[in-house]
Homo-oligomer: A and B are copies of this chain.
């Protein structure tokens, strides 16, 4: 398929009018702006949201009443029911479900132990997508992924590969790039070298006996092997033991793929003002409803669901609705491959221009410290106005940092305008994908700041005169 790069295609179209040659490109499109009255109302909304506990209450409800909700599980179906009921309870005008289908992976149990003279248990979690199986073999440690990838074919025959990469802590989660790469590419690299199983130091920044799970994949043509993550103290322990001499370990996983599952994106709308005729356009915010199974999915991503539901509800309670509709989406199965986000993009591609601007929260509930939008230049005046309304929340306008959230990224890749509200993720990877992802890790006041930011953002985007550039692009969606 021939792909026209987006920047080039846009330039060609914009270049057509002759007067554009003498003026900045964005001048061909009337600049998008936000009326003063809306800016004033956004300030009030911001203060009201800061004083509200609604985001926390919704997150508490989801994580307590449903708890863990692995995509495709019985609890996932309960979460869908919960979201539908919660939208209605919060006064959303329209609430509906959209089907999402995906392969179902199940975790039943996992055990690991050092054998022999230093016999002891190791704390592990199977990686999502791993097959089950029991392997007893010697462990070969690799300091990083590159070392494993450099292992000659057959060199790990009958062994367990152990990648001991230590993920770095960072406010923006930058260390997760390599951390998650070890998880997604390590198993295939291990198999290519002949390994019978794969272990990794969890992609995390904590020091607790709670391993970090997460999805892995096996390259085509390879026979998957049992793959699991050790907690960080267990990785330390295994590294110390390996340094003392040969170590045999037993890895026992009972897990695997089991047919197809049906879940749903759950959508709630606060309809735009009747006057103005823009209620068919939407500002989309949301998070994902599924979680990994060991914790209760509080920071990942109960908070994202709770805070965007709350932001929409607070806008719904305003005397004067914004012109456009606020659409809140609780996406299905983000964790195993953005199934909900891809299904949404596929279903709504024809309405891409009706999607004014979108932002997803999927990075916990730390205070938001930065904002940007990938909107075209002609809309950056309005983006700057939104940034001004966010500034009292301690949020900086950082025009070049960050991209769209995971579930909106398939649609953003097809041309939907997006923004990002960046949470402080300094401690996000202490809990992410572990049993420790529970409600107590959320600071209610920080969550209220998040609600305020999303409410202000959504309200102003829905009140703008002009658009943020959503338009179908002739490019293929990135393969996630």
Contact = CB atoms under 8 A, between A and B. Distances in A.
Interface of A: 60, 64-68, 74-75, 78, 114, 117-121, 123, 207-210, 232-233, 236-237, 240-241, 244, 294-296, 434-436, 438-441
Contact of A208 (B67, B117, B237, B436): B436
Contacts of A123: 435
Given A66-B118, A74-B119, A118-B65, A60 B295 contact: no
Given A67-B119, A208-B210, A208-B436, 18 more contacts: A60-B240, A64-B241, A64-B244, A65-B118, A66-B118, A66-B120, A67-B114, A67-B237, A68-B120, A74-B119, A123-B435, A209-B210, A209-B434, A209-B435, A209-B436, A209-B438, A236-B440, A237-B438
Given A119-B74, A119-B75, A296-B120, A233 B64 contact: no
A210 B441 CA distance: 15
Given A208-B208, A210-B208, A120 B75 contact: yes
Contacts of A240: 60, 64
Contacts of A210: 208-210
Contacts of A237: 64, 67, 296, 438-439
A237 B435 CA distance: 13
A434 to B, nearest CB: 8
A438 B210 CA distance: 12
Contacts of A209: 210, 294-295, 434-436, 438
A442 to B, nearest CB: 11
Nearest to A238: B64
Nearest to A430: B208
Contact of A68 (B121, B438, B440): B121
A122 to B, nearest CB: 9
Nearest to A241: B64
Contacts of A64: 118, 237, 240-241, 244
Nearest to A210: B209
Contact of A233 (B60, B74, B117, B438): B438
A349 B114 CA distance: 42
A208 B441 CA distance: 9
Contacts of A67: 114, 118-121, 237
A295 B237 CA distance: 12
12 contacts: A60-B240, A64-B118, A67-B114, A75-B120, A78-B117, A120-B296, A123-B435, A207-B441, A209-B435, A233-B439, A233-B440, A236-B439
Nearest to A209: B435
Contacts of A236: 438-440
Residue from A67, A114, A294 having most chain B Cβ neighbours under 10 A: A67
A117 B120 CA distance: 37
Contacts of A118: 64-67
Nearest 8 Cβ contacts at the A-B interface = A67-B120, A209-B435, A233-B438, A64-B240, A207-B440, A209-B436, A208-B208, A65-B118
Contacts of A60: 240
Contacts of A66: 118, 120
Contacts of A120: 66-68, 75, 296
Nearest to A74: B119
A114 B67 CA distance: 10
A173 to B, nearest CB: 21
A233 B65 CA distance: 14
A352 B240 CA distance: 42
A234 to B, nearest CB: 8
A211 to B, nearest CB: 11
A340 to B, nearest CB: 22
Contacts of A233: 436, 438-440
A64 B238 CA distance: 9
A431 to B, nearest CB: 9
A65 B240 CA distance: 9
